Chain A
Amino acid sequence: MAETLLNRINGSKAAKVFRARIKRPDVLKDKASTALLLAPYVLLFSLFIIIPVVAAIGLSFTYFNGIEAPAFAKMFGLYNYIMILTQDEVFLRYVLPNTLKYAIITGPGGYALSFMMAWMLSQIQAKPRKWIALALYTPSMLGGVLVGVIFRTLFSGDKSGYINAILLDWGLVNIPVDFLQSGDYLMQIMIFVTLWSSMGIGFLSMLAGILNINREMYEAAYIDGIKNRMQEIFYITIPSMKPQMLFGAVMAIVGAFNAGGIGVALSGSNPTPQYAGQLIVNHIDDYGFIRYEMGYAAALSVILLLVILFFSKIAYRLFGERD
């Protein structure tokens, strides 16, 4: 009995691993080396990505003004959330509808645009493709500051603005339109600018994905009775490049929410005129860095992260490969 138990212990997986380690110290050395390789990234990632997210969740249940220690918020800590969802008139009347409108148009819109462009580019020859792809990608590498500069002058509210000069010249308007400061057009311009700069890394990924699809797939599909380009896209192209479609989708979502500063860059003020371009990112800045109500701002951050997570879940549902 005791002998069989001993045999079983000796034959167990743990014992084998243990023996392997005793016999070969290089296994231990390898483990140490792996740990060293991972350490810097894991440390930096934890410090600047994980801890901030966890801290945002924690702070969202507190009252915190940046000077005194955070105090647990009233109403079981839910005070901030309750205020946001019931009392924050600016959030409910402007920020939330603006953010949804902006995100829904620029996220899926920019994504569809990227795919369409990538697909068309894949239908032409390599040399011109390279240059047109560069032209389409260029706006996305300009960065917020420069985009602000360009469109502030193009849409300038006096007659020195290019758009106004053209409108005046063609007799479409009599006095220059106040595009950026009146609040009437700010959201439309923000959406336009974001779509304009939406063909970034996700677009390149999808282009590479389409170009990598095995040619024989198409030949086989035509033999099997696919009739036109539309069927080709939906039955061959998209299913064959799902991983790139997913990467592109995630990048589009992140891009849509990251570009939130554009309204402030265009109008030059936070809050934006009449809250016309106020997105949740600006609202967070407003409360966090202008009013120093950091607990409140953190609650807004958590709401934003949940919204992003929700959109990503949809993307994974659509394009993810289920095991």
Chain B
Amino acid sequence: MANFLGTQINPKSFHPSQLKFYLFLVPVGLVMILPVFYVVGQAFKPLSELFLFPPRFIVSNPTLDNFARLFRTASGTGVPMTRYLFNSLIVTTLTILVTLLVTLMTGYALSKKKFGLKKAIFSINQTALMFVATAVAIPRYLVVTGLGLTNSFAAHIIPYLAMPVGLFLVKQFIDQVPDELIEAAKIDGANDWHILTKIVGPLVKPALATVAILSFQMIWNSTESSNIYVIDETKKTFAFYMNTLTASSAGPAGAGIAAAAGLVMFIPNLAIFIIMQGNVMDTMSHSGIK
């Protein structure tokens, strides 16, 4: 009790009693990212070091060879790697943009509008938080086929637009926006679209950023749509390509390319998250389920 500033939750200053937490957290944190450092090292290793026994963790002569080879590689059917990367960029961007729009619209309606099914929709969505898509992969496949989406770019996008977690987070965040603000805008003659784009949207930016990150992670890393819905090799995504690359390339030479591909996949994830971390934490403080 003596030094409450240093020993309380979210301390403002250092206190020796915090040492025990650092002693635990720092090693654990290091172990957690060790495999990531390993991929980074692997990606920059020249062929000679990849073959080395015993394998070394730290690269001594870093080189960009693996990346050069990665960008020159093509799949067994002759589709260049850059094509997959391009597909992934298009698919991911479109999915995120549409997801954000749909989520914001629905979140606003569920939070600020009055209608009969409001409670029902919200609680169904809350139940769907535990939805595991892989569990119903077959009926989902039948729906995608039934809609005629198979083998199109839309098959990468449309099935993933409804994101229960995203809607949940955005709705919780919009709940914090005072009703008076929206009433005032209405009196000034704003319609829902104006309110959404000019008032609610900008105010809930942290939640939108969080949804963008989650959606990005899901789509960018997903191989499901390429595996199941899309047959045409030129329409498949980078995550899928990487999966075939690593599955087929046994041996150190392949491992180097795989690590380089892994890094290309991972860096955007990391960069976006670091930039948005503050927003994410902001959103998470309203994430509780009551």
Please report A residues at the B interface, Cβ cutoff 8 Å: 30-31, 33-34, 37-38, 40-42, 44-45, 47-53, 55-56, 59, 117, 120-126, 128, 130-132, 134-139, 141-146, 148-154, 159-162, 165, 168-169, 196, 199, 201, 204-205, 207-213, 215, 218-219, 222, 237, 241-244, 246-247, 250-251, 253-254, 257-258, 260-261, 268, 281, 284-285, 288-289, 294, 297-298, 301, 304-305, 308-309, 312, 319-321
Contact = CB atoms under 8 A, between A and B. Distances in A.
B115 A31 contact: yes
A45 B128 contact: yes
Nearest to B218: A143
Contacts of B4: 219
Contact of B134 (A138, A261, A319): A261
Given A45-B128, A150-B262, A243 B290 contact: yes
A244 B132 contact: no
**Size bracket, chain B contacts:** 35 or more
Contacts, number: 297
**Of residues A38, A196, A237, which shows the largest number of chain B Cβ atoms within 10 Å of its Cβ?**
A38
Contacts of B137: 284-285, 288-289
A318 B290 CA distance: 12
**Secondary structure of the B contact surface, majority rule:** helix
Contacts of B55: 160-162, 165
Interface of B: 1, 4, 8-14, 18, 21-22, 24-26, 28-30, 32-33, 35-36, 38-39, 42, 53-55, 57, 102-103, 105-106, 108-110, 113, 115, 121, 124-125, 128-140, 142-143, 147, 158-162, 164-165, 167, 191-192, 196, 214, 217, 220-223, 228, 239, 242-243, 246-247, 252, 255, 258-259, 262, 265-266, 269-270, 273-274, 277, 280-282, 284-285, 287-290
Contacts of B128: 45, 49
B284 A143 contact: no
B277 to A, nearest CB: 7
B135 A304 contact: yes
A169 B54 contact: yes
Contacts of B262: 145-146, 149-150
B284 A41 contact: no
A124 B25 contact: yes
Contacts of A30: 113, 192
A257 B55 CA distance: 34
A200 B151 CA distance: 32
B25 A117 contact: yes
A298 to B, nearest CB: 6
A120 B105 contact: no
B161 A44 contact: yes
B131 to A, nearest CB: 6
A59 B136 CA distance: 11
